[in-house]
Amino acid sequence: MTTAKPILTADQAALLIRDGVTVAIGGSGAGHSVPERMLEAIGRRHRATGGPRELTLIHPFGVGDQGARGLEHMAMPGLYHRVIGGHWSMSPSMAKLAAENLFEAYCLPAGILVQLFHAAASGSPGWISEIGLDTFIDPRVEGGKLNARAEEDIVELWNRDGKEYLYYRAHPIDVALIRAAVADEEGNLSMHEEVAPWHNCAMAQAALAAGGITIAQVKRIVPARSLDPRLVHVPGIFVDCLIVHPDQGMTYNIGYDPALSGEARKPESEFAPFPFSVRKTIARRAAMELRPGAIINVGFGVPDGVMKVAREQGFAESVVPTIEQGQIGGIPAEGLEFGAAYNSTAIIGTLRQFAWYQGRGVDIAFLGFAEVDAAGNVNVSKLDSAIIGTGGFIDIAQKARKVVFCGTLAVRGGKPKFVPAVRQITFSGAHAISTGQEVLYVTEAAVFRLTAQGLQLEEVAPGLDLEGDVIAKMAFRPVVGSSFGRMRAELFAQPLLPPDCFPAFQ
């Protein structure tokens, strides 16, 4: 005998959320498995009735398109008591409310928040990790607090056998809001037409462990037990009710592309060429750090050009790119579609991907930067008064064996990005030195290396004057040895780079 799950409208499901409860949202970014109809319905209810109120909201990744969707539907004073977000910039209005002290605002690494769902599901009080040490997450720095309302310490320093760790407290989940492609009548959920399975199962298990509920948005419902059990990512025993959105796309902008879910492959001829630009110059120099067999992570923005260079130069199959959303191999999508990947060789859950990242599984991470200081610290999480957040940056950067930061020497208009002290420490140079991590900073004008003495100049672009064209555009003087090299002139020209730029692949 089968037991069908209730099928509700989004507005009916929103009425199940009581004042003061803890709500967790799955998915990532611009509609990647984001339960959009539920977010809309919660916002409608609050605007019409003032309820629910005083929620604690948890979301490991950014949720929105930097426009009107995602958490923008729910960016209202009075709706929240506390928000713990891994990334904030995808919903500018939420970041603005946090900056205005309208609720307690915290930021924790996305991988840690995912692990905390697992901890809550298993009844563990929290998660112990080295991730976050010496960054703004460390309670000796900022403790992940983003505003004056955030007074409670939710991260603690922990010592064991002479080593330092951070202890992160788990949060019981009262309501888990997740999305899947397909549900059967018993609530078994398949993510096989989504870009990744995410951490949906851990969220639903955490809600069940706390006596809470899981609401799943799906595109369609099929007969009970008709799904291939190997494609069920969240068993129906963890799901309480369903809402159906037949027009649900894979992302906000993509209805369905089987090359993103692994059901087909997109031919190389359909990818746009990588146009020559400053961004390409930086990506080319960064790509020179690749080695055959390297397992890498590429971040959002300039770093995703590294794999474009590898493909253009013909050795992409010799390295293994990954992104934190769970994709291994393939070609990371760009812009707001970042978080998906074309032609992946494997797509695993974020829980397993982050466990591997946190266990030093990445050989080389290519990441962006907003600010770099004389000690090699990097800030990507706060600009002026704008709250950005960290996403998976800290999980990846702190544990990769080698990190190559990619970006321009200065912002448009000439404002330095290399500053005496960063506004927020998202990557700690001192911690990297203490662990023996190799760190480079690649720009279009110069290349720097992290040393125990600070940021050291290694290369200068051909034709540039060290003092007038490089150091004059920095707000501090790097360590300059008795000699430094020149960046390859071919990096700044249109044709393909000569093979000797990549001797390891010959």
Catalytically active residues are: 324
What secondary structure, in 3-state letters, does 152-186 show? CCCEEEEEECCEEEEEEECCCCCEEEEEEEEEECC
Structure tokens at 292: 């055959």
Amino acid sitting at position 467: E
Phi, psi of 26, deg, nearest 5: -90, 180
How long a stretch of residues is the chain?
506
With beta carbons less than 8 A apart as the criterion, state whether 190 and 182 touch.
yes
With beta carbons less than 8 A apart as the criterion, state whether 332 and 338 touch.
yes
Angle at 108 between CA 107 and CA 114, to 5 degrees: 130
Which spans in 345-473 are helix H? 350-358, 393-399, 429-435
Rounded to whole angstroms, the Cα distance separating 33 from 424 reads: 30
User: Among residues 350, 245, 344, which one has the least CA distance to residue 31?
Assistant: 245
CB atoms within 10 A of CB 495: 7
Amino acid sitting at position 315: F
Angle at 77 between CA 73 and CA 78, to 5 degrees: 110
> Within 13 Å, how many C-alpha atoms sit on residue 375's CB side?
19
Rounded to whole angstroms, the Cα distance separating 402 from 397 reads: 8
Structure tokens at 324: 């934190």
Rounded to whole angstroms, the Cα distance separating 70 from 36 reads: 6
* Strand 189-190 versus strand 175-184 pairing type: antiparallel
Q: What is the DSSP letter of 469?
A: I
Structure tokens at 119: 């901890």
User: Among residues 58, 1, 11, 408, which one has the least CA distance to residue 210?
Assistant: 58
Look up tokens 């902008």; give the residue.
Answer: 253
Q: Is 41 helix (H, G, I), strand (E, B) or coil?
A: helix
Rounded to whole angstroms, the Cα distance separating 318 from 314 reads: 9
